[in-house]
């Protein structure tokens, strides 16, 4: 018998040992007892990190929506599955029961089928945080269509790149989206994007804001009339365990975004099992993750993990600051939220506001607090613990990645003693290793190195869409026979892990992964720019912010205007999340003799560590360094 819900620390250690010593037996028992299969697997795991190739539950047949919906209908049909809290608090919250969600998913799946979509086709979902987003994801999964959710803050160009990369046949969007006091013209962004996307045949449009939009005959269709005509019966397509479930793009340190491909069975088992334990979810709990479904956290811990457990998952359309800084706490009070999962950047932003915003609300329903997406600093951790959790709700600092699908390092609340800023222990089945730069594993405690994982876990991404070589090069080549996260970490005297930050050219700003290269490419498109380099530097709210060093071709123009134009260009090409916080114009960038920009030096300068640059005499142009230090922006 497997133990699906860990209750004591001894049990954690016991299960952890089993998951390492007999991983196949361990996962087989979990899979067998807690999920619905049309056919069981022939083989639990086959893997080779050198190829790399990873397969879980090969030979099994299932549909993830039967696990997330159908099997709950007998006992929990009237239970709220999705609790939708709109952007504007004057609009009523909507409780969507498992019965209703099942019906709407089936109808939407029939709409997709009627438009000619088949198993294996890709559909891009560019939607706000509204029920139709969850419904569309599940409708795709119902018929074996692969969804690619694109965060609705991305620009039309970024959207077009993602649509074309996976050759989506359809886009599902809305007439607009509410974000705080603003209304954003999502359909307009899609229209511009689609000028570049010949693969898209149909656009389904949800009526959310009721704005006047242009519908292109033959291509654009309002969703609502199609749904009302559609049948609510839709047999789930029987899928193979390793069939694709979704593609989700994440930025890389170079070039175009990486479409991480997740497959069905392993992903389902791992996100469901982590959800149950990391949040200690109990039957009548009201769980709320405030992340956007455009990111992996939303996929795994708003949609699939909670629904596979028959949970109630809050879906929040709004922002933490609208109509006031008490919005999160108001929602917790209103719905008696028991688990609240958010990003450190939101915590830092809200901690700056007057504590009266918190004190107005009754937060006594809370049992577990979570953070994800970036390191949480000590001050923010304590504020969260004191002001929100009142020192009675353990904080789970959960480390994971788009690539890992589910949570990798985390305390288990009420079981693992927490330590501020530490993600503490590996989750069951996760075998971390810290490596030195020479490729040796650091053994024992009190060591710091690069974080790798030595053994497959069920929800690891299987490839990068269309580019398996890049998948291999990015994750499996730095260290032999290991998955490399790209993060640094330390292990303290008791074996707890703390993530120290990225060791590659990815910068985490407000919890968003930003690769430096794609942003530099955009900067370099500005006609006045000769070259540029971006580094991260510590920022009190965002965690990190972007500091850019830019060499201009001519300096005749007003520098502030050029700064504005560059940020405008970035907003248009990628989206506002990638805007530069600081733009320093330089006479040149420090380079090696082979012409490579020395980001290490630029990073130190941005971090105010210019007295610790080491030997710069071997640079091609050491003279520019003095100049850059002298003109550093504060």
The C-alpha atoms of residue 457 and residue 551 are separated, in whole angstroms, by 45
Q: CB nearer to ligand WTA: give 76 or 470.
A: 470
* C-beta atoms surrounding 364 within 10 Å: 12
393 binds ligand WTA (CB under 6 A): no
DSSP string, 138-150: HHHHHTTPEEEE-
Are 613 and 562 in contact by the 8 Å Cβ rule? The answer is: no
The C-alpha atoms of residue 358 and residue 328 are separated, in whole angstroms, by 9
Q: CB nearer to ligand WTA: give 270 or 400.
A: 400
User: Which of the stretches 179-187, 291-299, 311-319, 624-632 binds ligand WTA when contact is defined by CB under 6 A?
Assistant: 291-299
Q: CB nearer to ligand WTA: give 23 or 306.
A: 306
- Contact with ligand WTA (CB under 6 A): which of 67, 87, 398, 548? 398
Q: CB nearer to ligand WTA: give 305 or 310.
A: 305
Alpha helix stretches (DSSP H) within 115-185: 131-142, 156-165
Q: CB nearer to ligand WTA: give 393 or 510.
A: 510
Q: How far is the CB of 501 from ligand WTA (least distance, A)?
A: 6
- Contact with ligand WTA (CB under 6 A): which of 485, 516, 532, 544? 485
Does the CA dihedral 369-373-377-383 come out positive or negative? negative
550 binds ligand WTA (CB under 6 A): no
516 binds ligand WTA (CB under 6 A): no
Q: CB nearer to ligand WTA: give 57 or 422.
A: 422
Are 298 and 317 in contact by the 8 Å Cβ rule? The answer is: no
User: Which of the stretches 84-92, 359-367, 426-434, 482-490 binds ligand WTA when contact is defined by CB under 6 A?
Assistant: 482-490
Q: Is the peptide bond before 323 cis (omega within 30 degrees of 0)?
A: yes
Q: How far is the CB of 590 from ligand WTA (least distance, A)?
A: 26
Q: How far is the CB of 474 from ligand WTA (least distance, A)?
A: 12
Q: CB nearer to ligand WTA: give 194 or 461.
A: 461
Are 554 and 573 in contact by the 8 Å Cβ rule? The answer is: no
The C-alpha atoms of residue 451 and residue 482 are separated, in whole angstroms, by 10
Q: CB nearer to ligand WTA: give 178 or 399.
A: 399
The C-alpha atoms of residue 584 and residue 392 are separated, in whole angstroms, by 46
Strand, helix or coil for residue 11: helix
400 binds ligand WTA (CB under 6 A): yes
Q: CB nearer to ligand WTA: give 373 or 515.
A: 373
Ramachandran class of 526: left when φ > 0, alpha when ψ lies in -120 to 50, beta otherwise: beta
Which residues on adjacent β-strands are paired with residue 314?
A: 83, 288
Q: CB nearer to ligand WTA: give 402 or 516.
A: 402
Are 153 and 319 in contact by the 8 Å Cβ rule? The answer is: no
Are 264 and 271 in contact by the 8 Å Cβ rule? The answer is: no
The C-alpha atoms of residue 357 and residue 212 are separated, in whole angstroms, by 37
- Contact with ligand WTA (CB under 6 A): which of 401, 474, 516, 586? 401
Q: How far is the CB of 424 from ligand WTA (least distance, A)?
A: 10
Binding to ligand WTA, residues 600-619 (CB under 6 A) = none
The pattern of x and - marking residues 557 through 596 that bind ligand WTA according to CB under 6 A reads ----------------------------------------
The C-alpha atoms of residue 98 and residue 572 are separated, in whole angstroms, by 40
Q: Give the residue among 397, 353, 455 at the shortest CA–CA distance from 16.
A: 455
Q: How far is the CB of 409 from ligand WTA (least distance, A)?
A: 7
Q: How far is the CB of 611 from ligand WTA (least distance, A)?
A: 28
375 binds ligand WTA (CB under 6 A): yes
**Beta-carbon contacts of residue 386 (< 8 Å; ≥ 6 apart):** none
292 binds ligand WTA (CB under 6 A): no
Give me 94's structure tokens: 């909507």
Q: Give the residue among 112, 161, 115 at the shortest CA–CA distance from 140.
A: 112
Binding to ligand WTA, residues 413-432 (CB under 6 A) = 423
Helix pair angle (264-278, 23-34), 10° resolution? 80
User: Which of the stretches 44-52, 220-228, 309-317, 369-377 binds ligand WTA when contact is defined by CB under 6 A?
Assistant: 369-377
250 binds ligand WTA (CB under 6 A): yes
DSSP, res 578: G
Q: How far is the CB of 375 from ligand WTA (least distance, A)?
A: 4
397 binds ligand WTA (CB under 6 A): yes
The C-alpha atoms of residue 8 and residue 200 are separated, in whole angstroms, by 51
Number of residues that bind ligand WTA (CB under 6 A): 22
**Beta-carbon contacts of residue 163 (< 8 Å; ≥ 6 apart):** 124, 148, 150, 171, 193, 194, 197, 199, 200
Are 542 and 380 in contact by the 8 Å Cβ rule? The answer is: no
508 binds ligand WTA (CB under 6 A): yes
User: Which of the stretches 34-42, 178-186, 289-297, 331-339 binds ligand WTA when contact is defined by CB under 6 A?
Assistant: 289-297
Q: How far is the CB of 398 from ligand WTA (least distance, A)?
A: 5
- Contact with ligand WTA (CB under 6 A): which of 151, 279, 316, 399? 399
- Contact with ligand WTA (CB under 6 A): which of 80, 156, 312, 402? 402
542 binds ligand WTA (CB under 6 A): no
Are 246 and 263 in contact by the 8 Å Cβ rule? The answer is: no
CA–CA distance from 357 to each of 125, 327, 362, 363, 379 (Å)?
A: 35, 9, 11, 12, 18
User: Which of the stretches 91-99, 328-336, 379-387, 391-399 binds ligand WTA when contact is defined by CB under 6 A?
Assistant: 391-399
Q: CB nearer to ligand WTA: give 16 or 484.
A: 484
Give me 465's structure tokens: 């869409």
Binding to ligand WTA, residues 294-313 (CB under 6 A) = 295-297
Helix pair angle (599-606, 623-630), 10° resolution? 20
User: Which of the stretches 181-189, 372-380, 457-465, 554-562 binds ligand WTA when contact is defined by CB under 6 A?
Assistant: 372-380
Q: How far is the CB of 488 from ligand WTA (least distance, A)?
A: 9
513 binds ligand WTA (CB under 6 A): yes
Which residues of the shown chain bind ligand WTA in the complex (CB under 6 A)? Answer: 250, 295-297, 372-375, 397-402, 423, 485-487, 499, 502, 508, 513
């Amino acid at each position: 018998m497997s133990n699906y819900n860990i209750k004591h620390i001894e049990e954690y250690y016991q299960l952890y040992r089993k998951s390492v010593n007999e991983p196949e037996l361990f996962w087989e028992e979990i899979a067998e007892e807690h999920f619905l299969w049309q056919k069981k697997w022939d083989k639990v795991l086959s893997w080779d990190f050198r190829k790399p190739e990873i397969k879980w539950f090969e030979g099994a047949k299932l549909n993830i929506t039967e696990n997330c919906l159908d099997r709950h209908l007998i006992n929990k049909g009237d239970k709220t599955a999705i609790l939708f809290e709109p952007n504007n608090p004057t609009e009523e919250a909507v409780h969507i029961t498992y019965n209703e969600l099942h019906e709407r998913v089936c109808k939407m799946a029939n709409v997709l089928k009627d438009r000619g979509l088949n198993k294996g086709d890709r559909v891009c979902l560019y939607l706000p945080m509204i029920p139709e987003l969850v419904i569309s994801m599940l409708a795709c999964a119902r018929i074996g269509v692969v969804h690619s959710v694109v965060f609705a803050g991305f620009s039309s160009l970024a959207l077009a790149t993602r649509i074309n990369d996976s050759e989506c046949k359809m886009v599902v969007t809305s007439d607009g989206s509410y974000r705080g006091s603003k209304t954003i013209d999502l359909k307009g962004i899609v229209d511009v994007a689609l000028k570049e996307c010949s693969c898209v045949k149909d656009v389904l449009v949800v009526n959310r804001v009721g704005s006047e939009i242009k519908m292109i005959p033959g291509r654009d269709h309002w969703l609502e009339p199609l749904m009302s005509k559609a049948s609510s019966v839709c047999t789930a397509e029987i899928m193979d365990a390793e069939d694709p479930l979704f593609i989700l793009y994440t930025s890389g340190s170079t070039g175009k975004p990486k479409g991480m491909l997740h497959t069905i069975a392993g992903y389902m088992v791992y996100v469901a099992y982590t959800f149950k334990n990391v949040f200690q979810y109990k039957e009548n709990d009201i769980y709320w993750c405030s992340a956007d479904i455009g990111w992996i956290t939303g996929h795994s811990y708003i949609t699939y993990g909670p629904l596979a457990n028959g949970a109630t998952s809050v879906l929040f359309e709004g922002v933490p600051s609208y109509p006031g800084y008490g919005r999160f706490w108001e929602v917790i009070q209103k719905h008696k939220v028991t688990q609240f999962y958010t990003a450190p950047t939101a915590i830092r932003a809200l901690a700056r506001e007057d504590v009266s915003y918190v004190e107005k609300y009754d937060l006594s329903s809370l049992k577990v607090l979570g953070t994800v997406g970036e390191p949480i600093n000590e001050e923010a951790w304590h504020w969260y613990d004191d002001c929100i959790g009142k020192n009675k709700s353990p904080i789970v600092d959960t480390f994971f990645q788009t690539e890992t699908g589910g949570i990798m390092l985390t305390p288990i609340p009420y079981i693992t003693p927490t330590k501020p800023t530490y993600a503490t222990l590996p989750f069951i089945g996760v075998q971390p290793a810290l490596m030195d730069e020479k490729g040796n594993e650091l053994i024992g405690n009190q060591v710091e190195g690069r974080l790798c994982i030595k053994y497959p876990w069920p929800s690891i991404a299987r490839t990068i869409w269309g580019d398996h070589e890049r998948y291999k090069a990015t994750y499996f080549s730095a260290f032999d026979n290991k998955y490399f996260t790209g993060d640094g970490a330390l292990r303290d005297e008791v074996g707890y892990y703390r993530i120290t930050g990225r060791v590659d050219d990815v910068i985490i700003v407000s919890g968003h992964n930003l690769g430096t290269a794609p942003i530099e490419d955009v900067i370099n498109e500005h006609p006045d720019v000769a070259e540029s380099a971006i580094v991260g530097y510590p920022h009190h709210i965002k965690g990190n912010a972007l500091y850019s060093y830019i060499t201009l071709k001519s300096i005749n123009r007003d520098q502030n205007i050029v700064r504005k134009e560059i940020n405008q260009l970035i907003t248009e090409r990628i989206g506002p999340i990638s805007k530069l916080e600081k733009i320093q114009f330089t006479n040149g960038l420090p380079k090696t003799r082979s012409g490579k920009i020395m980001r290490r030096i630029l990073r130190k300068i941005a971090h105010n560590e210019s007295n610790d640059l080491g030997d710069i005499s071997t640079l091609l142009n050491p003279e520019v360094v003095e100049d850059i230090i002298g003109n550093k922006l504060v």
